[in-house]
Every structure is written in structure tokens, then in C-alpha cells.
Structure 1
């Protein structure tokens, strides 16, 4: 069992998710952890990396590093050294589908699975939230066509048997998108609001938030009808099986 903090959305540079970011640090058990930023989904955007250094480095006291896979071609040995040498991984937002294709090409997906088993904290926002789960509800088609508002189901790393969908509340059409995807997807889907995160620790879970009112939705089908449950931020942890299994 491992540790994941999947963040539904919010602007890192504006400190929207700062209390969630503090929880990412806390889970490492270290005052000045080594934090690795993976910006594949944003095509290794340099500005995103600068923001991460400012927040996780200057404000939160981490020793920061970056793994570039678009503008650089590191060897598998270098990839393993960076990932296994970190206390936490933070995956930035962007094009989830393209990111996962690049990861699989370089073997990053398998290295991250081993990092999870080793207890390295896995975190990220938007695409960086989707990637850890069995499936994701993604708007990746819009990166090829800005007018395409459709959603697709993508295969994530499968560390947790859920379908993940970010940016609910801010982008309300995602509610319908997730419900539609779950018609033909086994199990349970989670729709995270911006400024809300699903925290998973060794077989338990809770929802945490950085702004009042942030929460999540739990969606699944029962007798061919959608069941939608509002999930609220809670200080207590619950067994992950309660979230994953249909009621």
C-alpha cells in the first residue's frame, strides 16, 4: 500500500491549493523532503517548473528537481535515479493522454508503480490526479481541437481501482461527462472539485480541501441508473474499500 494525493484543480502559482500542498509534504515525514516535478502533460513548460520551485522549494522548503521527458531524453537509469531518489512526486496538469503515452514509451509508468510500492508520496493536479487511477475521464481531445468538448476514458497506472475526473464545479459540464463515461465503465468514478483532493494512505482515504465548499462526487451505476453521492471534506480516514466498492 502507498500514498497518493490527487488534486482536482486550482492554481499552484496563486497558492490556491497551498494547504493541500502542505499535506503532501507532511506525508513524507520529512521537514525538507526531496520533491520531483514531472511536467510532461504541459510539454515540459518552463514557467510551470519555475512555479513549482517557488512554491515547493522557496515556500515549503523542499529540495526540488525536475524530470523532463519532452525536451530531454533521459535514460531509464536516469529516470529511476530521479524517481527513486525522491520523497515525493508531483505531476503537473495538461494533456493526460499524451503524457501517459510518453511515460509508457520511456518506461516511466512502471517506475512510478514501483515508487508507489516503496512508499514515495505520489501527487499531482488535474492530469497529475487522473494518472494514478485505473481509468480517467479526460478532456484530452480539446488539445487537438479547441472546440471539442468531449470526454474520453483513458487507462491510467491502475494503482487504485477508481475512475478519476478533475475540475468539477469550475467546469460543470464535467458532471455530465463523468456520468456518461461511467455508463460503460466498471466500478466507481470520483469527480473532484478544484481545491479538493483525494488523499489515500495505506488502504485508507479521506477528502481534503484548501477552500470552503470544495468537495467531490462519487458516481456509479446501479440497476442501469446513475447514483451520484456528494462527498465532503473530512478530517477522519476511512477504509478505501468503502469508496471503491458500489453500495
Structure 2
């Protein structure tokens, strides 16, 4: 059985994007793991406080694709049937912004547990920046101004994650130090314009819209941090 066939057979999928402008190609890739040819896609923009401009941008991209987009706003009147809403989707896409605030709001509404249940049920989880790192056990975030810190996340995927690895000064040094100091476990760093796909609990593939960008395995080995660039398929 090929790796791609095995990945297709697993009903649990997460596509984590390292940030930057999310291209249509990356969106197509994320949607390709859904169970239907014309998936229902739910946008969750909590990390920006449901900023209308970001929501409009994402709708403009999704309307170019063969899908049915909608969104969940948690800073307006929140639907009472959150579980039914989430489980009724084919794909959930989470936007970037303040990861710490996003996770706090989700936990207040019980959305964190609903998303885990939906993932187990076969709803594709995806997102960029804050929406890409939230699925891991821990992450490197800039939720606090002028600093990068370790933050516990949802724990659906093992290890830690850092976005914007090639796009923001200080990201690489800080992520490696957080791992070296034991504040974060071994993890994955993702460049901008790069998506990583997990089938179940396993990393299946790295894809990129930029031939130079990729993702990196960053871990402790023999008392020091070792970084290994992963092979990325160009979209």
C-alpha cells in the first residue's frame, strides 16, 4: 500500500499552514482531503476578533473554489448549536491572529472539545499561523507584544509547532531555545506559504508554493537542538 493510499484511507486530517498569504493552491490542497467533491467549509476567525476584512478576504478566495463557505463568529451572537454546526462541516479553516486569546475563547465555549470530536469524526481541520499551530500540544506564539513565548495548545497532534519560520525575525532562535530549555517539546517549524498534512497522528506530506520554503523537524538530540529540513512538494 502506498503512503498516499494509506493517507487517503485515514479519516482524520489536519493541514497546518505556516502563515503568509494563503494562496488558492494551498486552499485547494486543504479541501482535497475532504470527504466530498463540493465540501462545506467553515471559517473560524476568532484570533482576529472576527475581523470583517479578514473574513472578506477568505470568502473571496473560497468563492473561487467549488465549495460551500460559511463562518462562525464568536464575537457576535453565538449559535447555540455549536456541536451540530461543526460536525455538519466537511472542512474547518482557522485564520491567524492572537493564538492565546483564540484558545481562551474556544475553551470558554467548549469549542476546543467540539473540534477534537469533529476531527475524530472525519472533518478536516486546517488553518494558517494561529490556525496552523493550534492543533499541536504546544506552540511558539507572539500573542504577547514584542516577544515569542511557549503556549499549550489543543494537543491533537504530538509535539510543538512554530509558524512564520522564515518570515519573522527571531522566530528560529526562539523556537530552538524554547525546545532546548524544555518549555516546548520536539516539534515542527513551518515556513510561510508551506502546508503540512497529517493523516491521523502521522506527518504525511509537506507542500509549498515557494521552491525554497519548507518545514523543519526541530528536536533535542545528544543534549543539543538539531534542525532537519524536510522535503517539500511544490504545488
Structures share a fold, TM > 0.5?
yes
**Partner residue, 2:218:** 219
**Partner residue, 2:19:** 9
Cα distance in 1 for partners of 2:201, 2:130 equals 22
User: Is this contact kept in 2: 1:198–1:206, CA < 8 A?
Assistant: yes
Residue 89 of structure 1, aligned match among 92, 104, 110: 92
Pairwise CA distance, 1:91: 0.2
Residue 49 of structure 2, aligned match among 15, 32, 43: 43
Q: Helix, strand or coil: the match of 1:61?
A: coil
**Partner residue, 1:108:** 111
TM-score normalized by structure 1? 0.85
Residue 70 of structure 2, aligned match among 37, 41, 65: 65
Paired residues in the alignment total 222
Structure 1 runs of 4+ off > 4 angstroms?
Answer: none
Pairwise CA distance, 1:116: 0.8
Pairwise CA distance, 1:172: 3.7
**Partner residue, 1:25:** 31
> Is residue 2:133 matched to residue 1:130?
yes
Cα distance in 1 for partners of 2:135, 2:82 equals 18
TM-score normalized by structure 2? 0.90
**Partner residue, 2:4:** none
Q: Helix, strand or coil: the match of 1:232?
A: coil
Structure 2 unaligned segments of length 5 or more: list them. 1-9
> Is residue 2:157 matched to residue 1:174?
no
Cα distance in 2 for partners of 1:29, 1:100 equals 27
Cα distance in 2 for partners of 1:27, 1:203 equals 15
